[in-house]
Chain A
């Protein structure tokens, strides 16, 4: 088994002292050439999330050299960063100021980049309470199909001028344009945090979570592994202490959330279990799905990880009936899998294609990464 990051060229970039490197001009030049010759480009950030999508047949365009924090003003709660910057580097800078990316993005490898994080649109355990990647994107500079570097959104909290192209980039996997720079809203890290283990069955846990969800409680993580409800409390010191006293349970070390976010808990290990891993995104109160396999529940029920041999169609049908969708996540497939994402309806597919045709008419950006022909 090869891990995607083992083979990635940007591995060395980490050791370079000068991380403030603006490669925009070189990137623009590559895109102009690709546009002129109609050559497709596979956008590569840190090589950490190659598995999350479909394989792309094309030339590689690495963004890993385009690094650095362009602007960070903690009091404004805004940071602007080049897309190739390592996520870990950004987070370290924010931590120095007592701030964070509240959507808690998974890394899936130490080289994960900010651009890949935004392009994949994945958020961590805090998502249902704090919001998702796109909720924190304030603006982007993007490189368009015709080799222009354009600015949408900005570095202010509120901006409704024009269409929201910045948030459209989130989760588009680079199929609509290259993310050159991103501005995020950042938030203070909570003053206090505690993790509890409460032994209870899934049914009980879901009922309790539904009840707590209707109260103003400082919950920012809720996962159930079949036997135990793992609960994270974050907020002011007083409310965290009070809630902890009220709920009881066993204190737990907080590494649980990192392992959950990075899919590194035993549940996700392929050594003992080689059944495919599915990510089900469902309404949080959807009852457990009648699917053979093992489930780990995160996001207070809104994200469920399933290990199951069942055919994709069966899993997707159950997820759709429950009001959600299912994604196949195979971290061993460094270049991606054939059909990871739930197919779009006919009308949605039409508008996806029309949008792609307008923003990337020659299909040079990551063709086929999300869906065939897109």
Chain B
């Protein structure tokens, strides 16, 4: 297992006297919940990437910003690493604890501070659940657009830190397009506001830089998001195909027809079967692939677009096209897709979810590559795909109790991501790098690019105390593990020491 923090490769962490730190923190922050006994720490040992577990040195569960500020002040002064966590649903180990670090859990900051229907904004604390924002805005006919499938559980702070997406990204954007402002506490305990309710701010676009920065640059303490009016009408078409490639091509055809669907999702046979067994969404289990195409907006346009898309799908060779009769059936169609991960989870003791993105035109090639990897390694792979924006979620089925299978699943996963990079895509579209894809970063970025990332980090956290080891690999790690292609027998970075 090569992704757990390894001081030899990831840099030395300061040695901290745990007892002395507990005494100090308890003295200065008597009202803050601070966990330090093993049985109390155990529940915090992993995030959504549960194959990896590390017992944190301490867990802090502050209730007030003053506590967060004081905690950061002490950690900064004493050189203690801090890993921030929201709801812990992250799938890349971004909130995986450190043995020598404090886990700062922001889940108690769960208040919606203000819903302003006139301004069409919501001001919330970072621990607020994604779905809670839309629920609070619903009485005003408004909602918060990014809808990760984990929306009932994940926190908005975690969404900002990961730049989370969802099934409506192509039309409505990612988190970065829907956040107006965030308040940050720097590791030095300074309060800064990035962005504003006005649509731009003087200076650099630090809001964009912080979005998706995986808790490496600061702790998010408050977020103002944009709310959108609920579309007047939304309709979903479900198209079946007897061939995955045809489904992939249909996606391009819809966009070529000048239509940007609210959602455009694809599932392959294994994923369809899993979802159907789990939620009885009415999916055609005999199909090789389905496309779910949601069209939303003003009633009249949705009607016209539905007709256009139906024609396009027919021309693309769909074997069956169904329009959800009503909102209830629409919800059912989506329920299958939104529960695809747990559904696949029921088919296999464990599954490993990948998150690569590709230019859509490369879909046939990548699906073929995945099928080949699946066959040669003897692990089943189900494919769930944000098809509209080229974000694939291959789910690799394995059994962690079978010796060697986790390693095999990781190997297949790593190769899938490298394939994504090879065709011009990215190792992660929305789940983040975290610890999970730390080695694949070396495949996507050159040492010079990685050096620039470290420079950015150093501008905000010179001591490297915030979430060390996540998101950006050290060059030493890349030299050792990076799937750094040994081209023509030349090792990458011959200048770096090899241990």
Instruction: Indicate if the CB atoms of A342 and B460 lie closer than 8 Å.
Output: no
Residue of A nearest to B231 (CB): A216
- Cβ B360 vs Cβ A75 within 8 A: yes
In the complex, 18 of the A-B residue pairs with CB atoms within 8 angstroms, ordered by the A residue number, are A77-B255, A121-B200, A131-B173, A156-B426, A158-B426, A159-B429, A161-B437, A162-B441, A162-B453, A165-B452, A167-B176, A167-B208, A168-B206, A170-B205, A216-B298, A239-B297, A285-B119, A351-B206
User: Within the assembled complex, what's the spacing in Å between the Cα atoms of A281 and B197?
Assistant: 10
Does A160 contact B428, Cβ atoms closer than 8 Å? yes
The chain A residue sitting closest to B441, CB to CB, is A161
Complex contacts, B165 vs chain A, CB 8 Å:
158
Q: Pick from A156, A216, A239, A359: contact of B390, CB below 8 A.
A: A156
Q: B212 contacts A73, CB within 8 Å?
A: no
Q: Report B213 CB to chain A, min CB distance, Å.
A: 6
Docked pose: A76 CA to B388 CA in angstroms:
9
Bound Cα distance A188, B191 (Å):
41
Chain B positions 350 through 392: 1 when the CB is less than 8 Å from some CB of chain A, otherwise 0: 0000000111110000000000000000000000001011110
A261 to chain B, nearest CB (A): 15
* Closest 3 pairs between A and B when the two form their complex, measured CB to CB: A236-B301, A238-B300, A158-B429
Residues on A with C-beta less than 8 A from B432 are 160
Contact of B209 among A164, A299, A302 (CB under 8 A): A164
Q: How far is the CB of B280 from chain A (nearest CB, A)?
A: 30
Residues of A within 8 A of B458 (CB): 358
Q: Does B448 contact A (CB under 8 A)?
A: yes
Q: From B198, which residue of chain A is reached at the shortest CB distance?
A: A324
Contact A167:B202 (CB < 8 A) given known A131-B177, A154-B424, A161-B426? no
Q: Are B459 and A348 in contact (CB under 8 A)?
A: no
Among B177, B203, B452, max chain A CB count under 10 A is at B203
B452 near A359 (CB under 8 angstroms)? yes
A214 touches B142 (CB 8 A): yes
Q: Which chain B residues have a beta carbon within 8 Å of chain A's beta carbons?
A: 117-120, 140-142, 162-163, 165, 169-170, 173-174, 176-177, 186, 190-192, 196-206, 208-209, 211-213, 217, 229-232, 252, 255-256, 258-260, 297-301, 303-305, 357-361, 386, 388-391, 424-433, 437, 441, 444-446, 448-450, 452-453, 455-460, 471-472
A18 to B60, CA, bound (A): 62
Q: Is there an interface contact between B202 and A344, defined as CB atoms closer than 8 Å?
A: yes
A162 and B449 contacting across the interface, CB-CB below 8 Å = yes
Closest to B253 in A: A75
In the complex, A156→B387 CA distance in Å?
12
**Bound complex: CA A341 to CA B361 (Å):** 43
With a CB–CB cut-off of 8 A, which chain B residues contact A303?
199
Residue of A nearest to B255 (CB): A75
By the criterion of a CB under 8 Å from any partner CB, how many residues of chain A are at the interface? Answer: 82
Q: Please state if A135 and B173 are interface contacts (CB–CB under 8 Å).
A: yes
CA distance A74 to B256 in the complex (A): 7
Q: Which of A153-185 contact B (CB under 8 A)?
A: 154-165, 167-168, 170-172, 176
A70 interfacial by beta-carbon distance below 8 Å: no
Task: Tell whether, in the assembled complex, residue A354 and residue B460 are in contact, meaning their CB atoms are under 8 Å apart.
Answer: yes
Q: Which residue of A lies closest to B192 (CB)?
A: A347
Contact status A164-B211, CB under 8 Å: yes
Q: Is the CB of A283 within 8 A of B197?
A: yes
B212 contacts across to A, CB distance below 8 A: 160, 163-164
Contacting residues, chain A, for B162 (C-beta < 8 A): 160
Q: Chain B residue with minimal CB distance to A99?
A: B258
In contact, B433 and A158 (Cβ under 8 angstroms): no
Complex CA gap A162/B217 in Å reads: 12
Q: Quick check: A213 and B391 within 8 Å, CB to CB? A: no
Q: How far in angstroms is the closest Cβ of chain B from A167?
A: 4
Please name all residues of chain A whose beta carbon is closer than 8 Å to the beta carbon of B256 when the two chains form the complex. Answer: 74-75
Shortest CB distance A348–B (Å) = 6
Which residue of A157, A171, A237, A324 is within 8 Å of B169 (Cβ)? A157
Which of A76, A216, A299, A355 is close to B360, meaning CB atoms less than 8 Å apart? Answer: A76
Q: How far is the CB of B267 from chain A (nearest CB, A)?
A: 18
Interface string of A340-356 (1 = CB under 8 A from B): 01111101100110110
**Alpha-carbon separation in the docked complex, A243 to B176 (Å):** 30
Supplied contacts A73-B359, A210-B118, A281-B199, 18 more A-B pairs, CB within 8 Å? A134-B208, A152-B449, A156-B357, A157-B170, A157-B388, A158-B357, A160-B430, A162-B471, A168-B208, A213-B120, A216-B230, A239-B298, A281-B198, A323-B198, A344-B203, A352-B203, A359-B452, A371-B203
Of B190, B213, B426, chain A has the most CB atoms within 10 Å of the CB of: B426
Q: How far is the CA of A302 from the CA of B259 in the complex (A)?
A: 29
B298-A217 in contact (CB<8A): yes
Which residues on B sit within 8 Å (CB–CB) of A154? 424-426
Binds B, one of A22-30, A42-50, A143-151, A288-296: A143-151
Q: A residues 5-33 with Cβ under 8 Å of B?
A: none
Q: Which residues of B contact A109 (CB under 8 A)?
A: none
A283 touches B359 (CB 8 A): no
For B298, list chain A residues within 8 Å (CB). 216-218, 235-236, 238-239, 242-243
Asked whether A158 and B424 contact (CB < 8 A) given A163-B213, A164-B211, A358-B455, the answer is no
Complex alpha-carbon distance, A172 and B201, angstroms? 12
Q: Compute how far the CA of A281 lies from the CA of B203 in the bound complex, rounded to whole angstroms.
A: 13
A-chain residues with CB within 8 Å of residue B358 when the two chains form the complex: 156
Known contacts: A158-B165, A158-B390. The answer to whether A150 contacts B297 by CB under 8 A is no
Nearest residue, chain A, Cβ from B254: A75
| Contact status B446-A78, CB under 8 Å | no
CB neighbours (8 Å) of A325 from chain B are 196, 198, 201-202
Q: How far is the CB of A131 from chain B (nearest CB, A)?
A: 6
Using a CB-CB cutoff of 8 Å, which residues 226-243 of chain A contact chain B?
235-239, 242-243
User: Which A residues are in CB contact (< 8 Å) with B304?
Assistant: 236-238
Nearest residue (CB) in A for B258 is A188
Please determine whether B258 and A167 come into contact, CB atoms closer than 8 angstroms: no
Given B142, B191, B389, which contacts A158 in the complex, CB threshold below 8 Å?
A: B389
Quick one: closest B residue to A131, CB to CB?
B177
Cβ of A54 < 8 Å from any Cβ of B? no
* CB interface residues, A 166-208, toward B, < 8 Å: 167-168, 170-172, 176, 187-188, 191
Out of A135, A341, A354, name the residue touching B202 (CB < 8 Å). Answer: A341
CA distance A303 to B255 in the complex (A): 32
Whether A150 touches B229, Cβ cut-off 8 Å, given contacts A155-B359, A158-B426, A162-B433, is no
Q: What chain B residues lie within 8 Å of A152 (beta carbons)? A: 449, 452
B428 touches A239 (CB 8 A): no
Residues on B with C-beta less than 8 A from A144 are 448, 452
A73 proximity list for chain B (CB < 8 A): 359, 361
Taking a contact as CB atoms under 8 Å apart, the answer to whether B176 and A164 are in contact is yes
Tell me, yes or no, whether A82 is within 8 Å of chain B by CB.
Answer: no
Q: Are A352 and B117 in contact (CB under 8 A)?
A: no
Interface presence of A284 (CB below 8 A):
yes
A113: Cβ under 8 A from any B Cβ: no
Q: A157-B357, A160-B212, A236-B298 are in contact. Are A283 and B198 (CB under 8 A)?
A: yes
Bound: A42/B203 CA distance, A: 18
- Asked whether any CB of chain B lies closer than 8 Å to the CB of A111, the reply is no
Residue from A236, A347, A359 with most neighbouring chain B CB atoms (10 Å) = A236
| A128 CA to B199 CA, complexed, in Å | 8
Contact B429 A160 (CB under 8 A): yes
Q: At the interface, yes or no: A127 with Cβ under 8 Å from chain B?
A: yes
- Other-chain residue from A98, A299, A355 in contact with B459 (beta carbon distance below 8 A): A355
Contact of A132 among B196, B199, B209, B386 (CB under 8 A): B199
How many angstroms from the CA of A73 to the CA of B360 in the assembled complex? 10
Task: Tell me, yes or no, whether A282 is within 8 Å of chain B by CB.
Answer: yes
Bound Cα distance A151, B174 (Å): 21
A357 within 8 A of B: yes
Which A residues between 321 and 342 are near B, CB-CB below 8 angstroms?
A: 323-325, 327, 341-342
By CB atoms of chain B within 10 A, which of A73, A161, A351 has the most?
A161
User: What's the Cα separation between A187 and B493 when bound, in Å?
Assistant: 41
Given contacts A151-B449, A168-B209, contact A282 B198 (CB under 8 A): yes
